[in-house]
Structure 1
Amino acid sequence: MRLTKFGHSCVRLETDQGVIVIDPGVYSDPAALGGVDAVFVTHLHPDHCDAAELRALLAGRPETRIYGPASLAETLGELPFTVVSDGDAVPAAGTEVKVIGKDHAVVHPNIPRVTNSGYLIDGVFHPGDALTVPDQPVSVLLAPVAAPWSKLAEVVDFVRAVEAPTVFPIHDAILAEPGRALVDRVLGMLVGDTYRRIEDRDTVTL
């Protein structure tokens, strides 16, 4: 399987039988959606779900399936999608997508929490906006490293708890270059050489 990052929290996974994209949001490169077979959205926030791009995608490629929590209807409106929730397993692109997690991390007590579905695909775990630790092995962790709802100490504890041999940062479009360098330095120091940056449009073969 090949993994390519397309900005912020958006990743594209290509197997020999198809293409899966997770979290194509407004900070992401729409090129991620070219030829996609299945789109999995973790939650309804626009940095993870760009409704306009998904509308354009379905207009030109109506066979593409979109999956996400039920609350996604608030963002997608009339666009068709399949509701998934914690514990589901969905066949896509010749593999299986396991749904893990229920809630978005707390931003502030005054801001209502929304549903958040993480996705585990052939050992690659995308948690969305949550620090959910799967109860099964993870070979590649996509770690959200910067958000209004998190602090770096929590990210370090999350990475250590998951114990994945490879960790790539996501959810980093809100950081300027000095901030990304600082995050990389601290995570590299505290979690070791399992952590390494993958730049936008970089592809790794897993």
Structure 2
Amino acid sequence: MSTHLSRWGHSCVRLDRGDDHLVIDPGMFTDVATALAGAGAVLVTHEHGDHLAPEPVAAAGVDVWGPQAALDVLAAAGVPSARLHAVVAGDTVEAAGFAVAVLGEWHAQIHPDVPLAANVGYLVEGVLHPGDAYVDPQGATVDVLLTPIGGPWLKISEVVDYVRSVSPGRVVTIHDAQLSPAGLGLASSLVGRLGGAGEPILLGPGEGIDL
């Protein structure tokens, strides 16, 4: 059975396969209610608000995997501890029927004066969501790389090198809420021309691809 990947704004994506429905990083720039409708589980890369909207996630009543700091935010929003599952690099879990490998450890540096946050990436059956970092897939085959393309912590040259290092089959851009349409077009064009993985796929809210 094929899997459908859809994007719901900024860094939020959803994977659907039959009765299995998994959401990653439903944050404040996301159509959270629609993204979470019928979801069986949520993965959170880190606790920043653009990746985690705690109240809607709490209202969804689903199990959540993420770094402890993100789970603390959800606990404060009323999520029962039984639904919260802390993960670190090297863990493997099953969430909403999907096999998940946990990678990475820290958010990319924004500035030396800004403390680093714990950040994990998730490799979900060939789909890599790195959160806010250049997470190393450690030799695993990546069919789809969800590539951050805008933010205070990245440069396009670093994104290009990241795409080259991962060598994915396809690139889908994420983390773009801070970019104008013109800026998104320029950034994606550079990544497509230099990254070596073809033209990036730009998905609007609710748009998706089959894996």
Q: Distance in 2 between matches of 1:73 and 1:119?
A: 16
Q: Distance in 1 between matches of 2:26 and 2:53?
A: 6
Aligned to 2:133: 130
Aligned to 1:70: 68
Counterparts in 2 of 1:1-206, with a 5 A limit?
1-30=3-32, 31-58=34-61, 64-76=62-74, 77=76, 78-79=78-79, 80=81, 81-135=84-138, 136-192=140-196, 193-206=198-211
| Count of paired positions | 201
Greater alpha carbon shift after TM alignment, 70-79 vs 91-100 = 70-79
Query: Please, what TM-score do these two structures have when normalized by structure 2?
Result: 0.91
Unaligned runs of 5+ in 1: 59-63
Unaligned runs of 5+ in 2: none
- Specify the SS of the correspondent of 2:188: helix
**What is the alpha-carbon root mean square deviation over aligned residues?**
1.2
Query: Please, what TM-score do these two structures have when normalized by structure 1?
Result: 0.94
Q: Distance in 2 between matches of 1:105 and 1:5?
A: 23
Q: Distance in 2 between matches of 1:122 and 1:176?
A: 32
Paired residues of 1:26 and 1:47 also in contact (CA < 8 A): yes
Q: Distance in 1 between matches of 2:56 and 2:98?
A: 25
* Per-residue deviation, 1:71: 1.0
* Per-residue deviation, 1:68: 0.4
* Per-residue deviation, 1:74: 4.0
Paired residues of 2:191 and 2:199 also in contact (CA < 8 A): no
Q: Distance in 1 between matches of 2:157 and 2:102?
A: 26
Aligned partner letter, 1:75: V
Q: Distance in 1 between matches of 2:19 and 2:104?
A: 27
* Per-residue deviation, 1:198: 2.1
- Specify the SS of the correspondent of 1:14: strand
Greater alpha carbon shift after TM alignment, 46-55 vs 90-99 = 90-99
The runs of 4+ residues in structure 1 deviating greater than 4 Å are none
Identical residues among aligned pairs (%): 41
